[in-house]
Structure 1
Amino acid sequence: MCCPFGSSSIPIVEMTSFADKDSAVMSNGEDGPSLAQQAAQQAKGLMGKIAAPIKELEKERARDKKLDELKAGAMMQLLPDGKQRQSLTVKVAVSPDGAMVTWAGTGVSGVMALAAIREVKPIMKSGIVFVSEPTIIPNQFKLIAEDQAVGFEAKDEEVKEKWMSTLQEWLRSSRAGKSRT
């Protein structure tokens, strides 16, 4: 029998908390992250995976809300093309099902599928007369599809930016969705 303060063949175990050290000795004797740190990292990764669909859903809802604002429509000028000689006042809107951009005014109407739109961009002032770099014409933008292009002039830059940014965001998200499938 051994006395309490004498020598013993049984090793003394030292207790340390996980918070005291950044790395602890692993069971095989190598330095590395402790089991608690590994568990925390795995939990963090798992929470990120769980939260990703929620974040994507929130982004989708924000895009849908912006698109809903465009469904209400806005009065704009339909810019002249090869068929018409002057700009006409039209109401531009996204269709209720969110599949088309429509415009209608006195004696004129049109439609362009959102899925067919390749580009949404501002209209640039350029030509032979202008030697300097092209500049953006205020309030004007165009929708470009494979078989048609249509230009609009919004009442102000705020309306133009709202329409352009919402449609561009919709295009990016729809293309990203196609590449995932």
Structure 2
Amino acid sequence: MQRIGVIIGTTRDARFGGKAAQWFMDLARQRTDLQFELIDLRDYPLPFFNEMSSNLHMPTQNAEGLRWQKKVGEFDGYVVIAAEYNHGPSAVLKNALDYAYVEWVRKPVAFVGYGSVGGARAVEQLRQITIELQMAPVRSAVHIQGGDFMQIMMGQKTLEELSYLPPLVTNMLDDLAWWTNALKVAREQN
């Protein structure tokens, strides 16, 4: 069974990402074709990237960076739970992406975005970043819109009440499963 790492892309005390990740994991674990593991960036306190180069060219020296690389290298694909901060992804997420390279190559990635426009601008930037890391971002994504996001944050609504989201999750994970299988076969042939 293919292993998918689900990365919570924020670390703030008041983050929404943990709530979104738990909701997503509850849906994802209903599948029988993929195995999911939650990866919380809070558990990987990476300093700002200050290596001589990415680990494509030179080994990482930072112990926490090496621990992160080992963890992300365990997976066949990824789902990133991505907040939108000022029209882009969080700094800690970008930093975590920069700390690995070899581990990401030729693996698929999907996104669950949230924020004022469903995190769409952050997800769009993340697609560009992950392409540069030689990943394969899938077209389908899940976007938790700003109005819903704010009502959930204020306790007026729950993610489970948003009936438009589960079909989006299913579609995204169907795409991710296809790409995960196809790319794993291709990686194993090299």
What TM bracket, shorter-length normalisation?
A: under 0.3
Which has the greater radius of gyration?
1
Greater helix fraction, Structure 1 or Structure 2: 2
Which structure features the higher share of strand residues?
Answer: 1
TM-score w.r.t. length of structure 1: 0.24
